[in-house]
């Protein structure tokens, strides 16, 4: 229920203080929400598209950062506090997504090594001075 309450408060801030909040801050909030949405899509077949979208959103957010400078209106400060909490969620989601990708890469490498050892079972045998015929 807190999520809907926070979304309602975001909408209330936008409606009451739309002229008092910079468009860059509102766009930052929207970008952060899109990042959270993108990191929740974990299907492997769409991973490249999701990574491209995440990179695009991060670049867009970096460009917005230069437009968000002091002094801030009271409405902007309130939204800023909400954005800080939202940024923690985004950072955790990105870290989790990165961890998922790393674990998939590790699993793929392990599978590749397993296939190699199945094809050539004596490939990793220690060569301790004995002669092994390498011709097959």
Inter-residue contact 62 to 32 (CB < 8 Å): no
Q: What is the pLDDT of residue 87?
A: 95
Per-residue pLDDT of the chain (136 residues; tens, 9 = 90+): 444 444 444 444 444 445 588 899 999 999 999 999 999 998 888 999 999 999 999 999 999 988 888 888 999 999 999 999 999 999 999 999 999 999 999 999 999 888 888 787 777 666 666 665 666 5
Confidence (pTM): 0.70
Sign of the alpha-carbon dihedral angle for 6, 11, 14, 15: negative
Eight-class DSSP state of 67 = T
Sign of the alpha-carbon dihedral angle for 19, 21, 23, 29: negative
């Amino acid at each position: 229920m807190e999520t809907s309450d926070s979304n309602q408060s975001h909408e209330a801030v936008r409606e009451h203080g739309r002229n008092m909040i910079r468009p860059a801050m509102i766009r930052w909030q929207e970008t952060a929400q899109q990042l959270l949405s993108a990191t929740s899509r974990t299907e492997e077949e769409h991973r490249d598209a999701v990574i491209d979208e995440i990179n695009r959103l991060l670049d867009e957010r970096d460009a917005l950062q230069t437009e968000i400078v002091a002094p801030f209106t009271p409405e902007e400060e309130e939204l800023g506090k909400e954005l800080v909490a939202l940024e923690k969620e985004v950072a955790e989601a990105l870290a989790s997504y990165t961890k998922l990708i790393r674990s998939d890469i590790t699993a793929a490498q392990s599978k590749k090594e397993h296939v190699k050892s199945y094809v050539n079972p004596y490939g990793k045998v220690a060569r301790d001075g004995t002669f092994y015929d390498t011709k097959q």
